[in-house]
Structure 1
Amino acid sequence: MYETTTALITVRVSPSYLETQSDPDEGRWVFAYTIEIVNRSEQRVRLRSRYWHITDGVGHVEEVRGPGVVGEEPTLMPGDSFTYTSGCPLSTPSGIMRGHFHMQRPDGSFFDVEVPAFSLDAPTGRRTLN
């Protein structure tokens, strides 16, 4: 598990390899990642958008931006948490993801919460230091 805290918002990531959705012979490895966001602050926050920086095992970079996560823009009250699972296909058996969530405070101001860099590794693939 990977974890970091920014502005009293903790983000935990647990990645896994999806063997049944992968096809190494076709150059396709698929990974899932479960993210838990915990609001340890004393104010309500709302997740407005996400940013991902994805690097595969040969250094190819893809950037992804979009509203919310999994079709939601969750609001977290103090002490609340939100958990979701999503996926990432790669053309190599390993890679790394990092990013941030763009959050909004009750006064309308915004801040970014870091998502820790996490490794995506197929168990049968050659591991690459990303």
Structure 2
Amino acid sequence: MRRIPRRTSKDQPVYEAVTRGIVVRVVSEYQSNHSDPLEGRWFWAYTIEIENRGSETVQLISRRWLITDALNRTEEVAGPGVIGEQPRLKPQEAFRYTSGCPLTTASGEMRGAYQMLTDDGEVFDVEIPAFSLHLPEARRVVN
């Protein structure tokens, strides 16, 4: 497993983890139009790309998120698939989706895992790298 921080053209960090040839890349972006700091609501969108660089076909069965806010409160969110889908990825295929996360503090982090299933019936976890949820003017680091 390896993690590689990169930057997008907007100078946003790209968080990456590789597990068994499955690459997970994440970019997050603060959504001021969906946030209301006076009401204690901050919202981030995140885009995830899952790329199968391995030699076997896999299907994303479920997800498990750990969402931690600036007060170190952690919420676990788990369920089948992502955005209502359970994508099946052949070698060299990728799947990308965008979702969102509200917080009651101005910063936090997310991390987690996808449960994958091979065509041979083997189940294994793929790391979703920890990524920062910080305001654009804040220093961009994982808590």
TM-score norm. by structure 2 comes to 0.87
AA paired with 1:119? S
Offset of 1:123 from its aligned partner?
2.5
The equivalent of 2:83 in structure 1 is 70
CA deviations on 1:35-75 (whole Å, 9 max, x unpaired) are: 00000011110000000000000111100000000000000
Identity, % of aligned pairs? Answer: 56
The equivalent of 2:120 in structure 1 is 107
Pair 1:97-2:114 in alignment: no
Q: Work out the CA distance in 1 between the residues paired with 2:73 and 2:29.
A: 21
Offset of 1:81 from its aligned partner?
0.2
Pair 1:88-2:101 in alignment: yes
Pair 1:116-2:129 in alignment: yes
The equivalent of 1:39 in structure 2 is 52
Offset of 1:128 from its aligned partner?
8.6
RMSD: 1.6
Q: Work out the CA distance in 1 between the residues paired with 2:121 and 2:19.
A: 18
- Of 37, 42, 46, 1:24 maps to 37
AA paired with 2:59? R
Secondary structure in 2 matching 1:118 = strand
The answer to whether the 8 A contact 1:94-1:127 is kept is: no
- Deviates further, 50-59 or 118-127: 118-127
The answer to whether the 8 A contact 1:93-1:125 is kept is: no
Q: Work out the CA distance in 1 between the residues paired with 2:140 and 2:52.
A: 34
- Distance verdict in 2 for CA 1:129–1:34, change over 3 Å: closer
The answer to whether the 8 A contact 1:47-1:104 is kept is: yes
Q: Which runs of 5+ in 1 are unaligned?
A: none
The answer to whether the 8 A contact 1:102-1:111 is kept is: yes
AA paired with 1:55? T
- Distance verdict in 2 for CA 1:105–1:19, change over 3 Å: same
